[in-house]
Amino acid sequence: MNQNGHQPSQLNGQIDSRVRYILFTGKVKHGHLLRYLLATQGRKRLLETYGLRRQVKSSALTGDPDHVFEVYYADEPERLIRDSDQPLALDGMMNEEDAAQYLALQEIIDAERLPAREVLDPSSPEIPHMRTLLQMPYLLEQKSQEEVSRDLATAPYLLNDICVLKKEDGEDPVSRLTRFTDYVSQIIPTFAQSGFSLLVAGQFESHPDWILNIWQLENLEQHRELMLRLADNRVYSEIDKLCNQEQHLCRNVSRFYQYHPFLMTA
Mean pLDDT for 88-96 is 90
pLDDT value of residue 18: 66
Rounded alpha-carbon distances, angstroms, from residue 248 to 7, 24, 133, 251: 27, 16, 19, 10
Query: Domain 19-260 class?
Result: alpha beta
Q: Percentage of the chain surpassing pLDDT 90?
A: 56
Backbone angles phi, psi at 215, to 5 degrees: -115, 150
Q: Percentage of the chain surpassing pLDDT 70?
A: 85
- Indicate if the pLDDT at residue 254 is higher than 80: no
- Higher-pLDDT residue of 81, 8: 81
Q: Which of 122-136, 201-215, 219-233 bottoms out in mean pLDDT, i.e. has the lowest?
A: 122-136
pLDDT value of residue 168: 78
CA distance 23 to 190: 27
- Indicate if the pLDDT at residue 5 is higher than 70: no
Within 10 Å of residue 190's Cβ, how many Cβ atoms? 15
Please report which confidence band the pLDDT of residue 201 belongs to, taking 50, 70 and 90 as the band edges.
Answer: very high
Please report which confidence band the pLDDT of residue 264 belongs to, taking 50, 70 and 90 as the band edges.
Answer: very low
Please report which confidence band the pLDDT of residue 10 belongs to, taking 50, 70 and 90 as the band edges.
Answer: very low
CA distance 246 to 162: 5
- Higher-pLDDT residue of 263, 127: 127
3-state secondary structure of 263: helix
What ranges make up the beta strands (E) of the chain?
19-28, 52-60, 67-74, 113-114, 130-135, 157-165, 197-204, 210-217, 243-252
Q: pTM (2 decimals)?
A: 0.85
pLDDT value of residue 107: 96
Per-residue buried b or exposed e for 122-160, using 16+ beta carbons within 10 Å of the residue's own CB = eeeeebeeebbbbbbebbeeeeeeeebeebbbebebbbb
- Indicate if the pLDDT at residue 179 is higher than 90: yes
